[in-house]
A and B are shown apart, each in its own frame.
Chain A
Amino acid sequence: MLDFLLRVFGKDNSSSKNVAKERLRLVLVHDRADMSPQLIEDLKEDLIKVISNYMEIDENALEVNLDSSNNTVALVANIPVLRMKRTSKRKEKIG
């Protein structure tokens, strides 16, 4: 009943138009950046590989997104660091 009232009086935030807008926003970021979700997944994997050479990161909590505002697209990555390494893996291999 409350739900109905909220809808009737236009105070509902989970309305279908907000769903539409959010879906559009996401799909357009990819359209405009010309990058498919699969490509983003690949980028994520590569990022993990490289960064893991220098620090231990929480791979499951890693977030990589293309963010668009004012006609520009930014690559925003949120990478939780668990532990820093003293030497890079690369050097270890060389040594």
Chain B
Amino acid sequence: MGEVIVITSGKGGVGKTTTTANIGTGLAALGYKVVLVDTDIGLRNLDVVLGLENRIVYDIVDVTHGNCRLKQALIKDKRFEGLHLLPAAQTKDKTAVTPDQIRELCAQLKKEFDYVVIDCPAGIEQGFKNAIAGAEKAIVVTTPEVSAVRDADRIIGLLEAAELHSPKLIVNRLRPLMVKRGDMMSIDDIIDILAIDLLGVVPEDEMIVITTNKGEPAVLDNNSRAGQAYRNMARRITGEDVPLMDLEAETGFMNKLKKLIGFK
């Protein structure tokens, strides 16, 4: 019996879809059977981030409405044996499915897969309620900004109210140099405010733009620091104890100089 994990954030644009694609691919790379479910009906994007947009025939609405069998709608990734995508519908809206339908869908999927990873739409309305309906665990993505952390706080409250207890936090797009300068909230600052456990930290990385351009998740790129962060998170999800990577390794010349003259 697999595990259903929803990836959510409240605010849009903080990296839910990128996170879903990378964690899912990371889990598949570890040899697990994984299905990624895009619940952002009307604004689907997980397909393009994964580079699977040309292979969609059926979508999640077709499945819940009985237009096709579940197996027919699942797209199999060519790079990883165990990786599958259930795409969102693009021409419908969030009301095309109900929380009960998603709950039923998740129950079916977790019989087949080790991990069912759900990409939640932004917002706290119907789309959010759909996305969390079948989930057993939740991951909240935020960035080190006032607006994103505020929305994350609201989402944590709503998850709690929906009996999804102790969600895990991912801090995305952290810029260690700015943190060092005191111009960006640090991991400790954010955890202090949100009071939930950390799953991982993703440093800002230009490689994400480049890999997303190509439709290849950054987790597959050994040179990408964000990719490394996602690989670590995938392992943590499987229960492995992986220490946080050294984010300051790249903070550059000033850091080294400071160390040299004893300011650190």
Contact A28 B150 (CB under 8 A): yes
| Nearest CB in chain B: distance from A78 CB, A | 24
* Residues of A in contact, count (CB < 8 Å): 19
Contact of B258 with A9 in the complex, beta carbons under 8 Å: yes
Specify which chain B residues have a CB less than 8 angstroms from the CB of A88 in the assembled complex.
none
Judge whether B186 is part of the interface by a CB distance below 8 angstroms: yes
Contact of B149 among A7, A9, A24, A32 (CB under 8 A): A24
CB of A24 within 8 A of CB of B258, answer no
Q: Does chain B have a CB within 8 A of A89?
A: no
Q: State how many angstroms separate the Cβ of A56 from the closest Cβ of chain B.
A: 40
Min distance, Cβ B101 to any Cβ of chain A, angstroms: 31
A87 at the interface (CB under 8 A from B): no
Tell me which of B145, B153, B186, B189 contacts A31 (CB under 8 A). B153
Across the two chains, which residue of chain A brings its CB closest to B154?
A: A31
Q: Which residues of A contact B (CB under 8 A)?
A: 7-10, 12, 15-18, 20-21, 23-25, 27-28, 31-32, 71
Q: Can you spell out 18 A-B residue pairs with CB atoms less than 8 angstroms apart?
A: A7-B181, A8-B254, A10-B180, A12-B182, A15-B183, A16-B183, A17-B179, A17-B184, A17-B185, A17-B186, A18-B182, A20-B146, A21-B185, A23-B146, A24-B146, A24-B193, A27-B146, A31-B154
